Amino acid sequence: MKAYRKGLLICLAVAFLFLFTACGNDEDTDTAESSDDSEAAEDQNADDTGAEDGETRTLTDAMGHEVTIPANPERVIASYLEDYLVALGITPVAQWSVRDGEDIQDYLQDELENIPTIPSELPYEAVASFEPDLLLMDSAGMVEDNKYDQYNKIAPTFVVGTEQNNDWREELRIISEVFNNEDKVEEVLASYEAKAEDAKEQIQGAIGDESVAALWLIADTFYIVSENLSSGDLLYNDLGLTAPSVVSEISETTNSNWTEISLEKLAELKADHIILVNSDNGSSVLEDPIWENIPAVQKGNIYEYGQESSWLYTGPIANSQMIDDALEKLVE
């Protein structure tokens, strides 16, 4: 049973790491643009819930495809972009999952509790079974090897970003343009920026320049978040917290949101505070002397969350929840 459990955890780790590498933060997203000036003018006059009834719009996606967007899409599939849809008040017809629906984005379930799941790799038959009227793809990698043409036969397919990791704010703006909902996105972003700035002042006032790291434990292996991606972007950019030198060093050599860190390297982690996403309850590595000698562990500054939390994700809702967590743990 122990071998089976560890094998299962390793499979889950691989699935998560693939998705986190593919769906994170970068600043190389190409914005979608209207196909001609007359349609842009019509979009300006449409309300923030979509174009007027009966109208379609043609937008250019990140790969240069001219995509005809339905006037009011009602059956949308946007695997791993559900955070953005929910923030804009849009409910997808299916939601991302791995392991036959056993693992989903738990932190979104207040809004998506009754939404059926679809495998994260988006099999054509599964996609077609939901009869979507619009497909959103996070990055070009999701439609490589002629996949775009296959998906586009099922429904209009819009690729949001070109890179493996795309800046979440830019993605949100592009998605809002697809739904002709630009007014809403500005409200969402303004609210988020105000919340982040207020939290930054409170947290820095409480811990000063004490360093903070985020670790993920799964299958007896630690992964450390990158300095400018995923929850690292929130911690070190939005909240302006101090990154331990090990985080900065590893971030220079990886494009992944989360990167495996050896116990030897972990011994160099001089973090004063650690946010620990523990997907491996009962792991013996938490009893290893190397772990126990980390300053944050010795000070009792370990803030533990399960994989159902938002710390493994990114987006306006995930980031907002992480800010709430950081305030709760770092501000007395």
Q: CATH no. for residue 193? A: 3.40.50.1980
State the average pLDDT over residues 261-283: 94
Comparing 7 with 221, the larger pLDDT belongs to 221
Answer whether residue 251 shows pLDDT above 90.
yes
| C-alpha span between 187 and 176 (Å, rounded) | 11
Q: What is the pLDDT of residues 115-142, one digit of tens each?
A: 999 999 999 999 999 999 999 999 999 9
Q: Are residues 42 and 175 in the same domain?
A: yes
Is 23 part of a structural domain of the chain? Answer: no
State the average pLDDT over residues 69-97: 96
Q: What is the pLDDT of residues 152-199, one digit of tens each?
A: 999 999 999 987 778 999 999 999 999 999 999 999 999 999 999 999
| C-alpha span between 236 and 320 (Å, rounded) | 15
Is 114 part of a structural domain of the chain? Answer: yes
Q: How many domains does the chain have?
A: 2
Token couple for 38: 């007359």
Is 167 part of a structural domain of the chain? Answer: yes
Q: Are residues 207 and 233 in the same domain?
A: yes
Q: Are residues 251 and 169 in the same domain?
A: no
Is 205 part of a structural domain of the chain? Answer: yes
Q: Are residues 121 and 197 in the same domain?
A: no
Q: What is the DSSP letter of 108?
A: G
Q: Are residues 156 and 205 in the same domain?
A: no
Boundary of a domain, candidates 180, 213, 228: 180
Q: Write down the H helix ranges in the chain.
A: 2-22, 37-45, 82-87, 109-112, 124-129, 147-154, 168-178, 182-207, 230-233, 245-251, 263-266, 289-292, 295-299, 316-330
Q: Are residues 172 and 292 in the same domain?
A: no
53 — pLDDT class (breaks 50, 70, 90): low
Give the number of C-alpha atoms closer than 13 A to the C-alpha of residue 75, restricted to the C-beta side: 11
| C-alpha span between 216 and 17 (Å, rounded) | 11
- How far is the CA of 307 from the CAs of 16, 218, 328, in angstroms? 10, 10, 18
Q: What is the DSSP letter of 195?
A: H
Distance from chain centroid for Cα 194: 20
Domain carrying residue 57: 31-180
Q: Are residues 46 and 175 in the same domain?
A: yes
Tokens 């360093």, residue?
211
Is 14 part of a structural domain of the chain? Answer: no
| pTM to 2 decimal places | 0.83
State the average pLDDT over residues 44-49: 39
Is 19 part of a structural domain of the chain? Answer: no
Boundary of a domain, candidates 180, 213, 248: 180
Boundary of a domain, candidates 180, 207, 228: 180
Is 254 part of a structural domain of the chain? Answer: yes
Q: What is the pLDDT of residues 206-229, one digit of tens each?
A: 999 999 999 999 999 999 999 999
How much is the pLDDT for 5?
39
